[in-house]
Amino acid sequence: MKKLIYFFLCMGVAIGFLLTPTGVSYSAEEPIIIGAPLATAFLYGWDAERGIKLAVEEINAQGGVKVGAKKRPFKVEVIDTRDLEPGVPVSEALLAVEKLILEKKADFIVGGPVRSEAALAAMDLLSKHKKVSIVTTGTLTPLYNKRVADNYDKYKYCFRNSNSSLNMMNEFITLLEDMKKSFGFNKAFIMVQDVEHARRGGEFMKKGLSDKGWQVIDMKIYPTGNTDYSLGLTEAKNKGAEILFIWMDMPESAVLLKQWSDMKIRAIPLGFVCAAEQPGFWKATGGKGEYLIVNVCNGGNAPAKITPWTMKFVEAYKKRWGLEPEGYGTSSSYMAVYQLKDAIERAGSIDPEKVIKALETQDLMGVYGRMRFDKSHQIIPSFDPKEGAVTCIFQWQAGKRVQIFPPKVAEGKIMLPPWMK
Amino acid sequence: MEILIYGIINSVTLALISLGFTLVYSISRLPNFAHGALYITTGYITWLFLNKFEGFPYPFAIFIGIAITCIIGALIYRFILIRIRGMEISEIIATYAIGLAILEGLRWGGLRGMTFTLPVFYPGTIEIFGVSVDYQRIIIVIVGICTFILLYLFTHFNKIGLALRGIAQDERAAMMLGIDSDTTAIISLAIGSGLAGFAAILLLPLGNIIVEAGYNVLIFAIAVCVIGGLGSWGGTVLASFIIGFAQILTEAFLSTHYQMVVALLAIIITLLVKPSGIFGKQKELEERV
């Protein structure tokens, strides 16, 4: 009888031990919630969502984030800000951010809002609720980090690990100067979309190139949704343009590339062309986008060997989502989660003040180079991945996106279309 | 010469976009605000058949795309609009809501991104008087003109077409002669939707199939119809040429980004000078009074 009682006692203790949470590692710990306000119906929204989710899955699979003595998992809450949809007011995006903070109890905000106007407006909200945020996609305005620099105490919660338009202009002008040396080009024709960031980009390029001795033939501004560029292209052709500088985020810019190819314009297209970022662009244009040079803001948004982590990220993304990283916002969104993990672990807490200090002193070798924030909380850019975050400017060559700039991480040389040789 | 060639292309494009909207309004007095949604639906269905079924012939995919859109148009009238016929505000709200549901439904269902495209009918370009024009645009002009001729023949020499015209001219008199108003409305919605789809098949290979294009198509269709006179076929053609050439001239002599302003300015001027539009009959009596 004693043996039987002893047996049941042992069984009870064993079952009790198995059922108590002590045997479970992170899963019983309260998750750290990452709120991701993104325009999910658009490339810059869904690729960021995929990047964030991939990083969270990888981190959770390794046990989560070490916060003091505990390991806590990340949990992602995505909300559609709709801020890239035409006619949707900024207030919609702000409501989405507020919902993430108040209803979903987000501890950190990563991703958007995607449109600059919405991201700028959300800065006050983040400050009010003391939520640390890393903007990773869409927002290119230099005003974002200028605000942090001008009013640090209020906006110290806001970080950006992707590119700013000022830096992109510097990259473009450096690339064009290289092309001037290599091919003797000095005539540019600018074609931009009638939206604020594109108009400003066009004007900046016009001035920047003129200062460098380029002849800027004309700058055409096209309304959103325009589907015919024949007259502009004919003018560029007749006036001997050698570079077509394009800044457009509308899908119809694919029409421009098709017409450029059909009309065999003796000028190489180059710029910020949202429609040409995705791997599917080649098939969508029937290969007519070949030779187009595109800036996708951060390395790793197209395959390249920038750091040891870049191709590991590309392969992991392909395995998880079935295609290569799609464009602007993918690698930066992925990295933001790792930056947050690193900062939380070094801070030993999710307290915003401590995490801010940890992010400010962060020095991490990431997917697109060395990741450090400057005093305005902007990621420090560089043409060398050992010094800072590098961009990805690629050219479509035989169906592939081949990184051609900056030279230190280039995987191929610029090719000219046969009708330009 | 560039202005003349691209002016004609732009004008025929606008006429094709507006044709279905005009047809439905001229026959049934129904403002079909789902027009843009039906345009995109045809493109998406055709794309689906081309890309999801390997080796599916392009002409069959086009035929299925247009046929399904025709059926959707007929069903919209048979199950929804028939209940609110004659209540103009309700018709506008209902058709706009249907259009919105279709477009946002397509977006939700996966029509996102910029990689949805249809192949051109014939690749390449040709020089016409020194102006480079792609074959697809030439096809658009030729097919557009043929469509107008065929529609003219259909409404003047075909029994169904004559019935449609009869209803358009005087609904009560036509009904007394045995022409059923609802049946003609169903037919007009089906043909109007089919024409929206037909325009999509011709125009979408130049660009991408995107949800936003549905809204743009609706805006241009309304602009053309308001200027030409709601329900007037001749007015639609004339207004298409006015807006089409005005846009090209704006691009050539002013700036491309004023193109949309020109179209909207033309609407405002028309509404100020002749609210019924160039060939509009609807409010002519009121205007005279």
Is B160 inside a domain boundary?
A: yes
Whole-number pLDDT of residue B289:
46
Q: Are residues A132 and A36 in the same domain?
A: yes
CB contact under 8 A, B251 and A232: yes
User: What's the pTM value of the predicted model, to 2 decimals?
Assistant: 0.78
Whole-number pLDDT of residue A6:
59
Whole-number pLDDT of residue A358:
94
Q: Are residues A258 and A401 in the same domain?
A: yes
Residue B115 has its nearest CB partner, among A252, A262, A278, at A278
Of A254-258, A292-296, A399-403, which range is least confident? A254-258
Of A233-237, A366-370, B74-78, B272-276, which range is least confident? B272-276
Does any CB of chain B come closer than 8 Å to the CB of residue A220? yes
Whole-number pLDDT of residue A22:
41
Whole-number pLDDT of residue A21:
42
Residue B115 has its nearest CB partner, among A46, A220, A281, at A281
- List pLDDT tens digits, range A317-334: 999 999 899 888 999 999
Q: Are residues A219 and A285 in the same domain?
A: yes
Please report, for the domain that includes residue A80, its CATH number: 3.40.50.2300
In the structure, what pLDDT confidence band is assigned to residue A23 with cuts at 50, 70 and 90?
very low
Q: What is the DSSP string of A106-174?
A: -SEEEE---SHHHHHHHHHHHHHHT-EEEE-SS---THHHHHHHHTHHHHTTEEE-S--HHHHHHHHHH
Whole-number pLDDT of residue B228:
83
Contact predicate B36/B193, CB 8 Å: no
Does any CB of chain B come closer than 8 Å to the CB of residue A323? no
**Residue A390 and residue A302: Cα distance in Å, rounded?**
12
Contacts of B23 (CB under 8 A, 6+ apart): B151, B188, B191, B192, B195, B233
Q: Are residues A346 and A201 in the same domain?
A: no
Does any CB of chain B come closer than 8 Å to the CB of residue A230? yes
Whole domain around residue B68: which residue ranges? Answer: 2-218
Q: Are residues A252 and A343 in the same domain?
A: no
Whole-number pLDDT of residue A5:
59
Chain B residue numbers with beta carbons less than 8 Å from the beta carbon of A232 are 251, 256
- List pLDDT tens digits, range B20-79: 998 888 887 888 899 999 999 999 999 999 888 878 899 999 999 999 999 999 999 899
Whole domain around residue A96: which residue ranges? Answer: 32-163+305-371
Whole-number pLDDT of residue B171:
76
In the structure, what pLDDT confidence band is assigned to residue A15 with cuts at 50, 70 and 90?
low
Residue B207 has its nearest CB partner, among A222, A255, A278, at A255
Is B89 inside a domain boundary?
A: yes
| Residue A54 in tokens | 């991939």
Does any CB of chain B come closer than 8 Å to the CB of residue A238? no
What is chain B's pLDDT, residue by residue, as a tens digit (289 residues)?
Answer: 778 888 899 899 999 999 899 888 888 788 889 999 999 999 999 999 988 887 889 999 999 999 999 999 999 989 988 888 878 888 899 999 999 999 989 988 888 777 788 888 888 788 888 788 888 899 999 999 999 889 888 888 888 888 887 877 777 888 888 888 888 888 889 999 999 999 999 999 888 888 888 888 898 888 888 888 877 778 888 889 988 888 888 877 877 777 777 878 888 888 888 877 787 765 555 554 4
Is A12 inside a domain boundary?
A: no
Whole-number pLDDT of residue A337:
96
Q: What is the mean pLDDT of residues A280-295?
A: 86
**Residue B90 and residue A345: Cα distance in Å, rounded?**
59
Is A119 inside a domain boundary?
A: yes
Is A310 inside a domain boundary?
A: yes
Is A383 inside a domain boundary?
A: no
Is A7 inside a domain boundary?
A: no
Q: In terms of Cα–Cα distance, which of A194, A249, A236 is closest to B259?
A: A194
In the structure, what pLDDT confidence band is assigned to residue A26 with cuts at 50, 70 and 90?
very low
Interface A:B, Cβ pairs < 8 A: 95
In the structure, what pLDDT confidence band is assigned to residue A19 with cuts at 50, 70 and 90?
very low
Whole-number pLDDT of residue A390:
94
CB contact under 8 A, B208 and A86: no
Q: Which burial class, exposed, middle or buried, applies to A266 when counting CB atoms under 10 A from its CB (0-12, 13-18, 19+)?
A: middle
Residues of chain B whose beta carbon is less than 8 angstroms from a beta carbon of chain A are 2-3, 6, 9-10, 107, 112-117, 119, 123-125, 131-134, 203, 206-208, 210, 212-213, 215-216, 248, 251-252, 255-257, 259-260
Is A186 inside a domain boundary?
A: yes
- Which long-range CB contacts under 8 A does A199-203 form with residues at least 24 apart? A200/A165, A201/A165, A201/A168, A201/A169, A201/A247, A201/A272, A202/A245, A202/A247
Whole-number pLDDT of residue B131:
80
Does any CB of chain B come closer than 8 Å to the CB of residue A280? yes
Answer yes or no: is the ipTM higher than 0.95.
no
Does any CB of chain B come closer than 8 Å to the CB of residue A221? yes
Whole-number pLDDT of residue B60:
93
Find which of B14, B255, B256 to mutate to test the A interface (most A CBs within 10 Å of its CB).
Answer: B256
Residue B257 has its nearest CB partner, among A221, A280, A283, at A221
Whole-number pLDDT of residue A294:
93
- List pLDDT tens digits, range A77-117: 999 888 777 667 788 888 999 999 999 899 999 997 888 88
Q: Are residues A232 and A332 in the same domain?
A: no
Number of domains in chain B: 1
| Chain centroid, CA A326 distance in Å | 10
Chain B residue numbers with beta carbons less than 8 Å from the beta carbon of A234 are 2, 131-132
Is B103 inside a domain boundary?
A: yes
Is A4 inside a domain boundary?
A: no
CB contact under 8 A, B256 and A275: no
Q: Are residues A222 and A252 in the same domain?
A: yes
Q: Are residues A142 and A173 in the same domain?
A: no
Whole-number pLDDT of residue A189:
95
Whole-number pLDDT of residue A283:
81
CB contact under 8 A, B260 and A223: yes
CB contact under 8 A, A254 and B207: yes
Is A87 inside a domain boundary?
A: yes
Does any CB of chain B come closer than 8 Å to the CB of residue A255? yes
Is B233 inside a domain boundary?
A: no
Whole-number pLDDT of residue A3:
57
Q: Are residues A264 and A153 in the same domain?
A: no
Residue A262 has its nearest CB partner, among B2, B6, B124, at B124
Nearest CA in chain B to A249: B114
Find which of B1, B16, B115 to mutate to test the A interface (most A CBs within 10 Å of its CB).
Answer: B115
SS (H, E, C) A226-277: CCCCHHHHHHHHHCCCCEEEEEECCCCHHHHHHHHHHCCCCCEEEEEEHHHC
Chain B residue numbers with beta carbons less than 8 Å from the beta carbon of A237 are 132
Whole-number pLDDT of residue B101:
93
Q: Which burial class, exposed, middle or buried, applies to A29 when counting CB atoms under 10 A from its CB (0-12, 13-18, 19+)?
A: middle
Is B95 inside a domain boundary?
A: yes
Whole-number pLDDT of residue B207:
82
Is B246 inside a domain boundary?
A: no
Number of domains in chain A: 2
Is B263 inside a domain boundary?
A: no
